[in-house]
Amino acid sequence: MHSKYLFPPLIALLALSLGLAHGQTPAEDAQYKKALQLNKATHYLESARLLKSLMLAHPEIERYKYDYLAVSSNAKQCTEVIADANQEFIKQAPIYVKEAIFSCYKNKIMISKLLKF
Q: What is the pTM of this model?
A: 0.73
For helices 2-21 and 26-40, angle between their N-to-C axes, nearest 10 degrees: 70
Q: What angle do CA 77, 93, 28 make, to 5 degrees?
A: 70
* pLDDT tens digits for range 8-63: 444 444 444 444 445 678 999 999 999 999 999 999 999 999 999 999 999 999 99
**Are 101 and 85 spatial neighbours (Cβ–Cβ below 8 Å)?**
yes
